[in-house]
């Protein structure tokens, strides 16, 4: 793979309002890369991957860097950095799963630069926050020239149209939700997750009313482990059931080989990650 020390030629645009950003993107939908934190985009541009004529930065758009508590949900602006989310008391209190996953992403530098909007919008299998948001049933607000609309994060890549960009993530707050998060990376505190598992369980005691299991490091289209979720629903989460669900998740997951691991090995990892995440969720003190 080629790697250049300098960035290629491009034009930098930094609109000062949402409206301005939407109309610029509407005018040049296929010639523009939207930039949030820049950690993924600039890296890829140095590799000369996906270089387009314009880079539109959202840094100057006001109001995209706030975390707000609304009734029943936490609203996170797309330009809020991963470290800010990991540290925010409201996120730690209300969406423990998201705070934990943010704290485990990348390195201090990457967490200080990278944003939730960038992680969600980049459409890479390695995006670690996406499975977490899917498990939490989060939604994303998309802005476009015709106004904004809200779609579920799970459907985001199918829904997003040319000229639209993510402005906000809405995370529902559910009382009594237990969670677990496991990430497996070559260097735990540095690398992207080779695979990861995020689980959110609704129920009382060990009996599971509803379960959401989402996986990282799997190839799209789906990150949900639906059959595993069905196995858990309405049943008591014994170790045996957890293993059964983890096996189903691994069996159904689409994995691809990379430079380090085969697709089969990743399936094994998924099995272990899902069962560990579920065990985490049923261990005491994991509500909220």
Partner 1 sequence: MKQEMEFTVNGEHYTVRVDTRRTLLEVLRETLGLTGTKEMCNKGDCGGCTVIMDGKPILSCLTLAIEAQGKEILTIEGLADGYTLHPIQQAFVESGAIQCGYCTPGFIMSAKALLDRNPHPTEDQIKEGIANNICRCTGYVQIVEAIQAAARTMKRPVKRPMKGPSRKPGGGKQ
Q: Minimum CB separation from partner 1 for residue 63, in Å? A: 17
Rounded Cα distance between 7 and 30, Å, is: 20
Nearer to partner 1, 14 or 173 (CB): 14
- Across-strand partners of 140? 151, 169
Burial bucket for residue 232 (CB in 10 Å: 0-12, 13-18, 19+): buried
Q: Minimum CB separation from partner 1 for residue 98, in Å? A: 19
Nearer to partner 1, 63 or 72 (CB): 63
Rounded Cα distance between 128 and 42, Å, is: 19
Q: Minimum CB separation from partner 1 for residue 167, in Å? A: 19
Please give the residue ranges that form the binding site for partner 1 (CB under 8 A): 3, 5-12, 14, 38-39, 42-43, 46, 57, 59, 81, 83, 106-110, 112-113, 187, 189-190
The helix, strand and coil proportions of the chain, stated in percent and rounded to the nearest 5, come to: 35, 25, 40
Nearer to partner 1, 43 or 158 (CB): 43
Q: Minimum CB separation from partner 1 for residue 14, in Å? A: 8
Q: Minimum CB separation from partner 1 for residue 4, in Å? A: 9
Q: Minimum CB separation from partner 1 for residue 30, in Å? A: 20
Nearer to partner 1, 106 or 117 (CB): 106
Contact 112, 83 (CB under 8 A): yes
**41 phi and psi angles, rounded to 5 deg:** -60, -50
3-state secondary structure at position 220 = coil
Nearer to partner 1, 10 or 157 (CB): 10
Q: Minimum CB separation from partner 1 for residue 198, in Å? A: 21
Nearer to partner 1, 57 or 275 (CB): 57
Contact 245, 231 (CB under 8 A): yes
Nearer to partner 1, 25 or 105 (CB): 105
- With b meaning 16 or more CB within 10 Å and e meaning fewer, what string describes 98-121? bbbbbebbbeeebbebbbbbbbbb
Contact 234, 245 (CB under 8 A): no
């Amino acid at each position: 793979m080629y790697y250049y020390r300098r960035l290629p030629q491009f034009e930098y645009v930094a609109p000062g309002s949402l409206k301005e950003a939407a109309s610029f993107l509407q005018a040049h939908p296929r010639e523009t890369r939207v930039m949030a934190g820049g950690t993924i985009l600039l890296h890829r541009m140095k590799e000369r991957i996906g270089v387009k004529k314009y880079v539109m930065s959202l840094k100057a758009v006001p109001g995209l860097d706030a975390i707000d508590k609304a009734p029943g949900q936490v609203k996170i602006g797309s330009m809020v950095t991963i470290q800010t989310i990991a540290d925010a008391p409201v996120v730690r209190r209300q969406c423990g799963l998201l705070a934990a996953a943010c704290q485990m992403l990348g390195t201090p530098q990457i967490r200080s630069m990278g944003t939730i909007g960038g992680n969600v919008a980049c459409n890479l299998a390695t995006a670690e926050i996406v499975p977490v948001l899917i498990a939490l049933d989060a939604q994303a607000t998309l802005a476009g020239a015709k106004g904004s609309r809200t779609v579920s994060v799970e459907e985001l890549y199918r829904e997003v149209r040319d000229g639209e960009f993510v402005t906000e993530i809405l995370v529902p707050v559910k009382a009594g939700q237990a969670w677990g998060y496991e990430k497996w990376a070559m260097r735990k505190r540095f690398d992207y997750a080779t695979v990861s598992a995020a689980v959110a369980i609704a129920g009382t005691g060990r009996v599971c009313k509803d379960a959401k299991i989402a996986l990282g490091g799997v190839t799209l289209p789906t990150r949900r482990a639906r059959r595993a979720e069905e196995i858990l629903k309405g049943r008591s989460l014994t170790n045996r059931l957890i293993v059964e669900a983890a096996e189903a998740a691994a069996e159904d997951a689409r994995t691809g080989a990379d430079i380090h691991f085969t697709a089969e090995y990743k399936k094994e990892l998924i099995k272990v990650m899902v069962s560990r995440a579920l065990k985490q969720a049923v261990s005491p003190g994991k509500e909220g």
